[in-house]
Structure formats: structure tokens, C-alpha cells
Amino acid sequence: EPPSCLEASSQMGDYVRSEYAFAAIDMLGHLMPLVPLMDALGGRGHTLTLFAPDDPKYAKCLADFGLTSVRLVPVRFPAGGPKAAMQHHGIRGALARGGPLAICSAPLSTQS
């Protein structure tokens, strides 16, 4: 009988380490839903990177939640920043131009 999802996940965690990159726009409310996911992935030993606006509030938020192993990459936006893009393109257009919110860059198979 094949292992359950939880059993397979715990077995993979012993052998496979992945690297995940997250991106947040210039509002902490968009980062908050990612915090539990980053915490769970970090707790399993995965490498995490967050691309966020060049603002100290993002480093503080990560520290407040104990996510000190997350590598924070500050991003400088052109004049007007993401808010101007949302006003110009609308929220769907701005999100469509911003790419995915999370990326898995390593294989999802067990390694011997």
C-alpha cells in the first residue's frame, strides 16, 4: 500500500531540500498569508528567499514571526512604485505583470 500524503511528505523532508522564492508587493497585508507557509517550509529545512520592497518593515515582520532564516532581498521600485502600477493597470493587471507569489525551484522527488 502506498504511503499517505503525510507519510510521503515526512519521508521527503529527510532527503530533499528545496529552495523557495516569495515576492511581496508594497503592503504587509500581502505578505501575511505567506507567513505560515514560510514558517512550515523553513521548519522542514528548505531555503527561503523573500523579494520585498526596500523597507525595514519587512525585515521587522520576518523577525517578529521568527523567520530569521529567510533571506530578504530588497527591491527598489521605479517612481510611483506598485501603487502607481495598480492605479494604471488595475489590480489584476498589476498582479499579472508581477509574476507568481511563490516558486519551487528544486525537484519534488526523493533522492538516494
Give the pLDDT of the chain (112 residues) as one tens digit per residue: 665 555 655 555 555 778 898 988 777 888 999 999 999 999 988 999 999 888 899 999 999 999 999 999 988 776 776 667 667 766 666 566 664 454 445 554 455 4
Residue 77 buriedness (CB in 10 A; 0-12 / 13-18 / 19+): middle
Residue 15 to residue 31: CA distance in whole angstroms: 29
Q: Say what the pLDDT of residue 26 is.
A: 76
Q: Say what the pLDDT of residue 112 is.
A: 46
Q: Say what the pLDDT of residue 100 is.
A: 45
Residue from 62, 60, 55 nearest 22 by CA: 62
Residue 62 to residue 42: CA distance in whole angstroms: 12
